[in-house]
Amino acid sequence: MNQIGERILAARKGAGLSLRALADIAGISHTAISKYEKGEITPDSDMLIKIANATGKSMDFFFRDITIGSLKPNYRCKKSLGKKTETKIHAKTLDWLERYLEIEHISDEKIAVILPDRKDCHVDSLNDIEKVALRVRMQWNLGLDPIDNLIDSFEMHGIKVGIIDVDTKFDALTFHYDDTPVIAVAKNIPGDRQRFNLAHELGHIILDINPGLDAEKAANRFAGAFLIPEEMMKYELLEKRRTIDINELYRIKHKYGISMKALIHRAADLEIITDNIAERLYRLFSKNGWNKKEPGKGFPNERPIHMELLILRAHAEEKITRSRAVELFGEPLTNILNEYNEPEMING
């Protein structure tokens, strides 16, 4: 398989198309597309334009210099993903990461990864996780305050974060590329759930978990502790409570960016409320349909901006063309540079 063939295959998988489906849309025989993908023949420009239009890709995509190859990410999902959906997620994640790495290369800028030493993150019990979460906050100079922008904090410390527009069963995935932690999270989910998924994945990245512990429970405990430390949880709710008002949970949710249900779980973990009280609150959520959509105004989503800033800077400094900038932004953001006329640059 040659580079063009690899890119055609990636474009097709990213669009969630079979060979025959792509052939029908592009008006090309599926046999020809199969041969293109295998590198047996090379498509001419007219054929490549048809494939680009059918898959929603720019021509630049097929000539991109940086290719990653295969990865083995760990998925976080509400339900099992079908093979087709997983393939689509994988392709979209690779496409985003390749664009990210390319603009880093063009800009000659890469942020160093800043995480605690793994030996300092060993946990033998769920209670040990509280100290590890606090250690990360202190190392990142976050203190105990609410984290206004979680994605920004991740990016500032070298963790690459991408937003992937795919199936709603998908929550997040994590892997390492050249020793850099990479997290991709679903686009169309509530902001509080997005933040919990990010913190959960950070737990998987840094925790050295005793084999006797459930890794998912450990990552969940880390997520809660990272988003709202024990000291602040007890400041907001006190040490012991006989019950908690839903309006309290709503206000704390919007202060710290963590769901009301996760706050109930956290209160039970820290023994602020008993398990019986937590169960009663869970039943209330289930009865009112709040497990799917919590009451009141939703918490806003976040989006990574470091990659966008690198692209805009490279375009302003004439390191890349306008069309190249649009291609590096990717499909969700292709209109950004077209919303305005060419901006006037102020020279110092």
Residue 329 belongs to what domain range?
306-338
Q: Is 156 helix (H, G, I), strand (E, B) or coil?
A: helix
41, 63, 85 — which closes off a domain? 63
Q: 301: left (phi > 0), else alpha (psi -120 to 50), else beta?
A: beta
* Contact indicator for 55, 15 with CB cutoff of 8 Å: yes
Asked whether residue 69 is domain-assigned, the answer is no
pLDDT tier for residue 330 given thresholds of 50, 70 and 90: confident
Rg of the Cα atoms in the chain: 23
Are 40 and 135 members of one domain?
no
Q: What is the pLDDT of residue 38?
A: 85
pLDDT digits (tens, 9 = 90+) for 260-308: 999 999 999 999 999 999 999 999 999 999 998 999 999 999 999 999 9
63, 85, 100 — which closes off a domain? 63
Q: In the chain, how many domains are there?
A: 3
Are 310 and 283 members of one domain?
no
Residue 88 CA to residue 111 CA, distance in Å, equals: 28
Lowest mean pLDDT among 83-92, 154-163, 189-198, 302-311: 83-92
Asked whether residue 151 is domain-assigned, the answer is yes
Residue 274 CA to residue 271 CA, distance in Å, equals: 6
Are 129 and 238 members of one domain?
yes
Q: What is the pLDDT of residue 170?
A: 84
CATH number, position 272: 1.10.10.2910
Are 166 and 195 members of one domain?
yes
Are 3 and 128 members of one domain?
no
Helical (H) or strand (E) element with 38: helix 30-38
Q: What is the pLDDT of residue 332?
A: 42
- Structure tokens, 195: 């933040």
Q: What is the pLDDT of residue 65?
A: 67
342: pLDDT strictly greater than 60: no
Are 175 and 243 members of one domain?
yes
Q: What is the DSSP string of 332-345?
A: GGTTGGGSSSPPPP
Are 278 and 316 members of one domain?
no
CATH number, position 23: 1.10.260.40
Burial of residue 107 (number of CB atoms within 10 Å: 0-12, 13-18, 19+)? middle
Are 198 and 133 members of one domain?
yes
Helix axes 322-329 and 306-316, enclosed angle (nearest 10): 170
Greater confidence (18 vs 229) lies with 229
Threshold 0.85, pTM exceeds: no
Asked whether residue 256 is domain-assigned, the answer is yes
Q: Which of 98, 240, 239, 266 is nearest to 177 (CA)?
A: 98
pLDDT digits (tens, 9 = 90+) for 102-126: 999 999 999 999 999 988 999 999 9
